[in-house]
Amino acid sequence: MSLVLSDVTLSYPDGDGRLTALDRVDLTVGAGRFVAVTGPSGSGKSSLLAVAGTLVTPDSGTVVVEGVRTDGLPAAERARVRRDRIGFVFQQDNLLPSLTALEQVLLAADLRKGGRRAHRTRAMELLEQVGLADAADRRPHQLSGGMRQRVNIARALMGSPSLLLVDEPTSALDRERGRRIIALLAELVRDRGVATVVVSHDLDALDPGSSTGVDATVSMADGRIVRVEEHRTYAGARSAGTSG
C-alpha cells in the first residue's frame, strides 16, 4: 500500500491543555486509488494530510509511505521521503509570477537526478497531459484559475510520486472548472497508479463512483473517521480501509 496510517493520534497545545486533532485514525490507500476526505472545518482533514505528508509527526501511531515508516524518522529523512515519494497540490497554486508554466514545473526537478534536457522533456509531457502544452510559455497572470491549478498538478507529478496529497483543489473555481480538475486528477492518478488523497468540501465536484470521480469518500468529525463510502473498486487494489 502506498499510504498506511495506523492508530494515529495527533494533538496540539491549547491553553493549559491540548486539542486532539486526530483521534486513533486508521487509513489505508493503495496504488491507483482516488480517495476523498470530507468533513466540517476542524474535523481533522488538514491534520490528516499533514501527517500523511510527513509535515507533522503524530503523538502516537504509525505512518507508512510506500513501505517506509516515517513517524520515527529524523527531520532530514522525512524531507527525503517527501521529495522522493510524495507530491503535494495545495489549495493556493503558489505559482511564481515571473516564471512561465514550464519553468514552474521545472522547479520541482531542481533537486532530482537527471539532466536539464530530460527534465524539460518530462515537464513538457506533463503539461501536455494536463492540457497546457500550448500554454507552456505563459506566466500566471496569463492563465485562468483552472489553468493555474493544472500547472500545480503537473508540478506535483514531476517527481513521479507514489502518493499524491491534494488540499481543496476546487475551492477557487466555479462548479464546471472544479469538476474538470477532479476529472483530470482521476485520469492521471489511475493512469499512473498513484495513491491519491484529496481533501474537499465540494461534494458535487468529487463525482463519486463515476469514471471521472473519486473511488471512496471518508467522512471525518472531531478528529475521527466516522464513515467510509466505497464508490468504485478495482481487482487487485484495495481501497481506503479505515476505522477509529
- The pLDDT assigned to 244 comes to 39
pLDDT in tens, 34-50: 999 999 999 999 999 99
What residue ranges define each of the domains in the chain, with the CATH number in brackets? 31-55+75-231 (3.40.50.300)
User: Which is higher by pLDDT, 70 or 115?
Assistant: 70
> Coil, strand or helix: which one is 205?
helix
Tell which wins on pLDDT, 46 or 116.
46
Beta sheet of 34-38, edge-to-edge order: 86-89, 163-167, 195-199, 34-38, 216-221, 224-230
Measure the CA–CA gap between 132 and 209, rounded to whole angstroms.
27
pLDDT, greater one: 239 or 60: 60
Lowest average pLDDT, out of 40-49, 144-153, 165-174, 235-244, goes to 235-244
* pLDDT (0 to 100) of residue 33: 94
